[in-house]
Structure 1
Amino acid sequence: MASTMPAPLLYPSPSEAALKLQFLGKKIQDVPAPAAIIDLAVVNRNCRLMLETADQLEVAFRAHVKTHKTTQLARLQVGRDSRSVKLVSSTVSEIENLLPWLLECKAEEKEINVLHGIPITRSALPRLSAVARALGEGTVGLFVDHSAHIKLLDAAASDWPGQIPVWMNIDVGYHREGVGAHSAQLADVAYALAASKRTRLAGLYTHMGHSYNVSSPAEALEHLALELEGLEEGAIEFLKIAGARETKDANAQKVVLSIGATPTATAAQNLFDDTEGARKYRAIIEKINRSFAVELHAGVYPVMDMQQLATRARPAQSTVHPMRSLLSFADLGLRMLVEVASSYPDRGEKPEALIAAGSIVLGREPCKSYPGWGVVSPWPQPSGPHYDPEGTRTGWIVGRISQEHGVLAWEGPTEHVRRLEIGEKLLVWPNHACIAGVNVGWYLVVDSDTGDPETVVDVWVRWRGW
């Protein structure tokens, strides 16, 4: 199989050293806008909480890297001292850019397991084969949901080390990738896998994307249970057709069932409350975990965003640890720095202002909890009034958006409107962090745990390409 040039060569990144020379030690206020600002303290807390949850539930955790596309945050997602590195990507570029760090992990004899999270395509296979050869047998897994995928791997995988670990996509209602538990297409894949000499089943995977529609911890947990039971149903059916069986031998290698989307994965953090519902859902996980190896996966949870806040998949405070914030504005780790370009206090019924940042900075994904494209934070004040969809609903939001232009609209009573000056810089919480970061080349990192949350302490370069 012919090799192709990897993304780091096709899409060269800017010099990290030069960026640090330019930005380290600068105050946010002195940084040119637009820019993406990450708070390391928030990201650390969110990553630790997810890993602690998986440990307490005795399940594995797989971190999705598509939101941030940086090695630095991927390290935090798996944990500094973890002996297991389980990741999933949306592009081949993400895996190729992870490779230098993954080779370090291999040298440290850590377990490496990386999934390419799109059903395999012919053009992606040569590059993924190169990564698999570098990392060794069993380290790179591929998604399938059609018998043609198995045939492609059988015909074109001569360069792959050993058997190819494949992950069957099961659709539990989101209707993106994957097939249903009782579909003829699932049966076709199972028969093709049973006949294949080059592939082996490593796990089954589902994405509960419609969990973004939940509005409470209880709803999120219901989706978590539906997701897990739907994936188990698909796994049993698939294994029955493929001639394999789920194992009850604790020492045997179990087939992995990977469930998640940030709302359902973070909802698992509610399972330690002493309630009937929490005990019920823990029992479901424990039961399925006896036959399969359950793992959670999620991606946007380290930084969160307005969409995640709208799901209320976790309460604002924990009943087990009352001082721990679980899902509030304090848990949003990404803010977009923007600059006021003009002001229109008398334009219409609401005061408006223009920022030099539109959809290519903030994204264009709506949020169900309010009619806008981003919420202006109280910064530069450390805290204070701002628009809260579940509170006063008073403050500046990004009310309209085009490519380079964002129109701020004041919501709520106007007698206490926050006056904005032309040239003033603002920090905006975006609706969807995965999209808001796409057009920035790097993140400027601050750390509110240091006592100086205004100073840039690091620069993380984002990966580019496909």
Structure 2
Amino acid sequence: MSSNYPLPSKAALVQQFVGKTLKDIPLPAAVIDIAAVRRNCQRMSDAVKDLGFDFAPLVNVHKTAEIASLQIGDDPEQARILATNLSEVENLLPLFLEHQKEGKQVNVIYGVPVAPSQVERIANIARILGRRGGIIRLLVQHASQIPLLQQISRLSGYPVYVYIHVDVNDEPCGVRPGSQPFQDLFSQIERIVLEAPMSIIGPGLYCHLEHRSFMLDPTKLIGPLTQQLSGLLKASPVQNIRFSINATAAIFRVSELLTGEPDDENRESVNALRETLHSISQADSFIEVRDGDYVLMDLNTLARREVLGLGKAASPDLRDVALTILTEVCCIYTSRGQSGLILEEDDRGEALITIGSSTLGEKTSQDYGGYGVISHWNIAPGLRGALDVFRSFHASSVTPECAVLKWDGPLEFVPQLQLGQRLRVYPNDAGEASEMFGWYFVINSSLTGREDEIVDIFVRWRG
């Protein structure tokens, strides 16, 4: 099915752009700093390994095989991915086959409940992966979906693994534990597993708890993690079962908090998580966490800066934000300045850039109030040491096509922008910002003296 959405030729794009710099490429452009991607992947890998959990990275934010490969990492036994669209799995099949040739087991989770129209595509994926021992895990929320799993198994010739999608907090999706629909679903899966073990294997329990605010309090960040795990533990009618949960940003600090002595502020929440993890261990159950926001680390993700080891007063490290949108100034408003005032001496006022809400979104950040922050890149060399990056220009208002920039820093530092000046924007939401682009221009900030050079092109999947 992915063949119906042909992609640009990576080879042609590489030949055209690799070796050029950010000042040479067409605008607007999505730019990936591969050094930041590698740091973010390593940080998550270390955190999950310290906790003894399995990890299933999401690929829906970036939609590229190259970054997916970095997320999978160097595990000699497993290659895990969670997909939210079947086109993601289909585009990753060549990478999965490479891993299987290396002797790794490919483990794919399709994080959307199975629908009738998807049966044949899923069966084809299960057949391709199953030939070399790969598995696909599927979600169900109701007993009426079980015949779809059996049909997928018959068409592919391989068993499918099943998760019951459990709702632990009145979420929009899932089945409530302890309810009659849950009991009926679990009983039906258990019966099929006993009677026809080569069609369905499982079940595991899957939970997704939405985080509706950018909670900067680490106590509140640990809470959703504990709530998911305790909810799944209570839901499980049996021991020795796999729990799959979405990771909050707290996953980066959970290991540190669990192994150290918590302060009075965190003591209650940390102890609650410790007790839950102990109970899961006693039940011989296993925990799998999943996340995708960490890899490109947009402003919304970075806003949870407490869990990255930064205090509320500290400046977030935007070097970890791997995606920026390259744009240019298309208009200077010399009669307007900060808060609508005229800047007397040199008329440095607001400016307009050539990307708007179609790229930056229609919601402002809850952390700083704008639609995107402008990097100090190509603005003024002196700013790097004088101000943190949030004391800069930000996109204060947007139309679908354009955004107005406003200066946040002290007036004595405000630089004069020029018509046609190229700027890089840190977006609030990396997935939303990158949807408008067919490929990423890849740079490597660790190459001293060549930080702006295009070193690769990553083609982004459609669908």
TM-score, reference length from structure 1:
0.86
Which of residues 295, 301, 305 in structure 1 aligns to 2:294?
A: 301
Hey, what does 2:345 align to over in structure 1? none
Give runs of aligned pairs for residues 200-211 of structure 1, distance below 5 A.
200-210=201-211
Hey, what does 2:169 align to over in structure 1? 173
Hey, what does 2:424 align to over in structure 1? 427
Q: Does the aligned pair in 2 maintain the 1:304–1:333 contact within 8 Å? A: yes
Q: Does the aligned pair in 2 maintain the 1:387–1:397 contact within 8 Å? A: no
Q: Does the aligned pair in 2 maintain the 1:150–1:199 contact within 8 Å? A: no
SS in 1 for 2:446: helix
Question: How many Å separate the matches in 2 of 1:26 and 1:133?
Answer: 43
Hey, what does 1:265 align to over in structure 2? 251
How far off is 1:140 after superposition?
Answer: 0.9
Residue identity matched to 2:458: W
How far off is 1:304 after superposition?
Answer: 0.5
What do the CA deviations read for 1:187-209 (whole angstroms, capped 9, x no partner)?
23223323434433242222232
Question: How many Å separate the matches in 2 of 1:37 and 1:420?
Answer: 21
Q: Does the aligned pair in 2 maintain the 1:154–1:199 contact within 8 Å? A: yes
1:31 and 2:32 correspond: no
Uncovered stretches (5+) of structure 2, i.e. residues with no partner? 341-348
Residue identity matched to 2:358: I
Q: 1:207 to 1:315 in 2, by over 3 A?
A: same
Residue identity matched to 2:33: D
Residue identity matched to 1:225: T
- Bigger Cα Rg: 2
Uncovered stretches (5+) of structure 1, i.e. residues with no partner? 1-5, 248-254, 319-324
How far off is 1:299 after superposition?
Answer: 0.4
Residue identity matched to 1:370: Y
Q: Does the aligned pair in 2 maintain the 1:144–1:166 contact within 8 Å? A: yes
Question: How many Å separate the matches in 2 of 1:269 and 1:213?
Answer: 21
1:190 and 2:186 correspond: yes
Question: How many Å separate the matches in 1 of 2:445 and 2:243?
Answer: 37
Question: How many Å separate the matches in 1 of 2:152 and 2:69?
Answer: 33
1:164 and 2:160 correspond: yes
Hey, what does 1:403 align to over in structure 2? 400
Question: How many Å separate the matches in 2 of 1:394 and 1:52?
Answer: 32
1:361 and 2:359 correspond: yes
Q: Does the aligned pair in 2 maintain the 1:262–1:300 contact within 8 Å? A: no
Q: 1:211 to 1:218 in 2, by over 3 A?
A: farther
Q: Does the aligned pair in 1 maintain the 2:171–2:209 contact within 8 Å? A: no
Structure 1, 379-388 or 117-126: larger mean CA deviation: 379-388
What do the CA deviations read for 1:145-165 (whole angstroms, capped 9, x no partner)?
122211333356420333221
SS in 2 for 1:370: coil
Hey, what does 1:458 align to over in structure 2? 456
What do the CA deviations read for 1:22-52 (whole angstroms, capped 9, x no partner)?
1111111222221111111111111111111
Q: Does the aligned pair in 2 maintain the 1:207–1:260 contact within 8 Å? A: yes
Structure 1, 370-379 or 393-402: larger mean CA deviation: 393-402
Q: Does the aligned pair in 2 maintain the 1:50–1:269 contact within 8 Å? A: no
1:96 and 2:85 correspond: no
SS in 2 for 1:459: strand
Which of residues 317, 320, 340 in structure 2 aligns to 1:331?
A: 320
Which of residues 375, 385, 388 in structure 2 aligns to 1:377?
A: 375
What do the CA deviations read for 1:228-275 (whole angstroms, capped 9, x no partner)?
2122222x2xxx2xxxx213xxxxxxx211112452433435436622
Question: How many Å separate the matches in 1 of 2:335 and 2:408?
Answer: 14
SS in 2 for 1:43: helix
Residue identity matched to 2:91: N
Which of residues 283, 287, 292 in structure 1 aligns to 2:285?
A: 292
How far off is 1:93 after superposition?
Answer: 0.2
Give runs of aligned pairs for residues 193-232 of structure 1, distance below 5 A.
193-196=189-192, 197=196, 198-210=199-211, 212-232=213-233
SS in 2 for 1:231: helix
Structure 1, 371-380 or 77-86: larger mean CA deviation: 77-86
SS in 1 for 2:307: coil
Residue identity matched to 1:461: V
Q: Does the aligned pair in 2 maintain the 1:335–1:430 contact within 8 Å? A: yes
Hey, what does 1:252 align to over in structure 2? none
Q: 1:272 to 1:377 in 2, by over 3 A?
A: farther
How far off is 1:123 after superposition?
Answer: 1.6
1:145 and 2:154 correspond: no
Q: Does the aligned pair in 2 maintain the 1:271–1:282 contact within 8 Å? A: no
How far off is 1:411 after superposition?
Answer: 3.0
How far off is 1:385 after superposition?
Answer: 5.6
How far off is 1:174 after superposition?
Answer: 6.7
Question: How many Å separate the matches in 1 of 2:384 and 2:278?
Answer: 42
Identity of aligned pairs, percent? Answer: 34
Hey, what does 2:346 align to over in structure 1? none
Question: How many Å separate the matches in 1 of 2:291 and 2:67?
Answer: 13
SS in 2 for 1:101: helix
Question: How many Å separate the matches in 2 of 1:395 and 1:158?
Answer: 59
SS in 2 for 1:449: coil
Question: How many Å separate the matches in 2 of 1:378 and 1:206?
Answer: 40
Hey, what does 1:250 align to over in structure 2? none
